[in-house]
Amino acid sequence: MKILVTGGAGYIGSHTLIELYAAGHTAVVVDNLYNSSKESLRRVAHIVGVDEIPFYEADIRDKNKLESVFSDHQFDCCIHFAGLKAVGESVAKPLEYYENNMNGTFVLLDAMRRHGCKNIIFSSSATVYGDPAEIPITEECPKGHCTNPYGQTKSMLEEVLKDVQTADTEWNVVLLRYFNPIGAHSSGTIGENPNGIPNNLMPYITQVAIGKRKELGIFGNDYDTPDGTGVRDYIHVVDLAKAHVCALKAISRKCGLGIYNIGTGHGYSVLDVVNAFIKVNGVNVPYKIQPRRPGDIATCYCNPAKAQAELGWKAQYGIEDMCRDSWNWQKNNPNGYQD
């Protein structure tokens, strides 16, 4: 299939491109490079053995540019990663987040509809469950209250996409609710490349390990969890990338609407992750317990059985693989794509 990949230069998009090519698909990337660089695409091309990944430097909100992309190509499906994703920043800049994530998706969906491409895989998030009503979380679990504008955009866009599919059943819509993606491609040449101070746990750990930051702050050790620190469902980004290839198969079977949790089903605490990282990589990660971070929940992990049953997808990698590959990327690229 020929796939339009919005946000394909980013962390999850770049890993997904590799799995798409490995499965025999081709891709065209549209990205405004707001949170990424062209270098990731150059490295993806090297890994998959092509001269270049077709790329448009464009904002998906730019109707004219998007129109020219759709005029140049006939797409079978869109994998829609493009969006802003920093939870804290979204609280400070709600309008920017609503405008980019909502309006960007509206412009995209309109162009898709007009050009007869009615298949989409959307990057949703475990954040739509809020403080989950059940653990492990199944897709039946009601969506919860999102404490930040970023999460609201994901939850609202899910509803928009459901409505689009209900109104016109020619659409096939797969909503993938990612849990906590970490890790990197085994080559160590592509990975997560945050700007400034990392918001998420793993990039913070790797930056402490390489000496860019003094110590990790652990946000609370008084949660109702086995060791008091927050528990999450970390998933290797390569496993996550492969879930998109499985979702494409569902789309080619004309699945209609599909909603899937994409996680391993295992919960690890912050201390579990830090200790696994130290053990696997033989490096030191100094840390200090700090107050809880506002908006955090104690425990979040999923039941991924539906994705296995209906998509034939199951995570292969464990927490030690994730820690090894995150470190391999960081130590080979201390300054990310600027190296």
CB distance 78 to 2 below 8 Å: no
Residue with tokens 């469950």: 129
Beta carbon of residue 199, minimum distance to ligand WQD (angstroms, whole number): 6
DSSP state of 184: -
- Picking from 318, 313, 90, 333, the residue whose alpha carbon sits closest to that of residue 199 is 90
Nearer to ligand WQD, 82 or 270 (CB): 270
Q: Which stretch binds ligand NAD (CB under 6 A): 2-10, 129-137, 155-163, 327-335?
A: 2-10
61 CB-near residues (< 8 Å, 6+ apart): 99, 100, 103, 104, 107
Burial (CB count <10 Å: 0-12, 13-18, 19+), residue 111? buried
- Judged by CB under 6 A, the residue of 188, 217, 228, 318 near ligand WQD is 217
7 binds, among ligand WQD, ligand NAD, none (CB under 5 to 8 A by kind): ligand NAD
Q: Which residue is nearest to ligand WQD (CB)?
A: 230
Q: Which residue is nearest to ligand NAD (CB)?
A: 10
Beta carbon of residue 60, minimum distance to ligand NAD (angstroms, whole number): 4
DSSP state of 142: P
Distance CA 112, CA 234 (A): 32
Catalytic residue check, 98? no
Nearer to ligand WQD, 87 or 315 (CB): 87
Beta carbon of residue 236, minimum distance to ligand WQD (angstroms, whole number): 14
- Judged by CB under 6 A, the residue of 199, 207, 221, 308 near ligand WQD is 199
Q: Does 230 bind ligand NAD (CB under 6 A)?
A: no
Q: Does 104 bind ligand NAD (CB under 6 A)?
A: yes
Distance CA 71, CA 69 (A): 5
Looking at the DSSP assignment, which residues form a beta bridge with residue 80? 6, 122
The contact pattern for ligand WQD, residues 111-130, with x = CB under 6 A and - = no contact, is: --------------x-x---
Restricting to residues 158-197, name those near ligand NAD by CB under 6 A. 178, 181
Phi and psi based region of residue 39 (left: phi greater than 0; alpha: psi -120 to 50; beta: remaining): alpha
CB distance 220 to 296 below 8 Å: yes
Beta carbon of residue 12, minimum distance to ligand NAD (angstroms, whole number): 4
Distance CA 108, CA 113 (A): 9
- Picking from 233, 234, 193, 240, the residue whose alpha carbon sits closest to that of residue 15 is 240
Beta carbon of residue 196, minimum distance to ligand WQD (angstroms, whole number): 13
Restricting to residues 68-87, name those near ligand NAD by CB under 6 A. 81-85
Residues that bind ligand WQD (CB under 6 A): 85, 87, 125, 127, 151, 180, 199-201, 204, 216-219, 230, 232, 270, 293, 296
Which positions touch ligand NAD (CB under 6 A)?
A: 6-7, 9-13, 30-36, 59-61, 81-85, 100, 104, 123, 125, 178, 181
Catalytic residue set: 150
